[in-house]
């Protein structure tokens, strides 16, 4: 948890999973909320899960192009964090282009988020629009490799 304090990175090894067990969207959300909870980023699973589903109810965050970004802003988030999960088989996030999501980024931020983090999220979002970046992430097999690939993202 102390790692978050350096204020520049939104990613950490303990919230990266290069092979999610989940086979469905619901399972993936649960698995990734657990990751965030175990890492101490989220203090209340029920509340945060609800926030995530409330957002999904507006419209699915399966963006197409093989990735999904479920996200939630809540008081129960201690520090901003983006959990990263890979699903080799792909998960059905009801994307408009019908693709399955191989990359899931679960964004947890607190209501009083500072601009720096929002800028990093914006930078991540931009990066994700590029096929080669997505492919390079999926080619990683360890958390450390993923972290290194993501470290190029700065505000």
Partner 1 sequence: MAKKILAVTGCPTGIAHTFMAEEALKTAAQELGVEIKVETNGAAGAENVLTPEDIRDAIGVIVASDKNEDTDRFSGLPTIITSVGDGINKPKELIQQILDGKVPVLNPGKAVKAETAAAPAGQESLGRQIYKHLMNGVSHMLPFVVAGGVLTAVSFLWGIYSFDPTSEQYNAFAAMLKNIGGISMGLMVPVFSAFIGQSIASRPGMIAGFVGGMLASSTGSGFIGGILAGFVAGYFTHWLLGLLSGLPKQYEGLKSIFLVPLVSVTFIGIFMSLTAGPVAAINEAMMNFLAGLQDSNPLVLGIVIGCMSAFDMGGPVNKAAYVTGTMLLGLGNDTFMAGVSAACITPPLVIALATTIFPKKFTDDERAAGLANYVLGCTHITEGAIPFAAKNPIVVLPILMLASSISAVLTYMMGIHVPAPHGGFLILPLVSNPVMWVVDILIGSAVGAVIYGITKKEEK
**From candidates 119, 144, 148, 151, binder to partner 1 by CB under 8 A:** 119
CA-wise closest residue to 151 among 4, 9, 7: 9
Instruction: Exactly one of 30, 45, 55, 71 is catalytic; name it.
Output: 71
Kindly state the tokens that stand for 133. Answer: 């970046």
**From candidates 13, 122, 139, 152, binder to partner 1 by CB under 8 A:** 122
Supply the angle between the helices 131-138 and 143-150 in degrees, to the nearest 10: 160
> 71 - beta bridge partners?
107
What phi-psi label fits residue 130: left (phi over 0), alpha (psi between -120 and 50 degrees) or beta? Answer: beta
**From candidates 18, 123, 143, 145, binder to partner 1 by CB under 8 A:** 123
Give the total of residues touching partner 1 (CB under 8 A).
36
Could you confirm whether 130 is annotated as catalytic? no
Query: Residue numbers of the site for partner 1 (CB under 8 A)?
Result: 26, 45-46, 49-50, 53-59, 61, 63-64, 69, 71, 73, 96-97, 107, 109, 113, 115, 118-119, 121-130
């Amino acid at each position: 948890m102390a790692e978050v304090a350096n204020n520049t990175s939104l990613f950490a090894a303990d919230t990266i999973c290069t092979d999610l067990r989940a086979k469905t969207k619901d399972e993936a959300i649960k698995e990734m909320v657990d990751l965030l909870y175990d890492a101490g980023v989220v203090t209340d699973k029920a509340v945060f899960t609800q926030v995530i589903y409330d957002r999904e109810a507006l419209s699915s965050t399966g963006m197409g192009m093989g990735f999904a970004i479920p996200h939630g802003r809540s008081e129960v988030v201690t520090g901003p964090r983006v959990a990263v999960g890979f699903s080799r088989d792909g998960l059905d996030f009801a994307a408009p282009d019908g693709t399955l999501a191989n990359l899931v980024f679960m964004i947890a931020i607190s209501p009083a988020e500072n601009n720096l983090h929002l800028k990093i999220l914006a930078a991540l979002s931009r990066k994700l629009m590029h096929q080669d970046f997505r492919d390079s992430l999926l080619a990683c097999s360890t958390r450390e490799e993923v972290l290194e690939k993501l470290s190029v993202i700065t505000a």
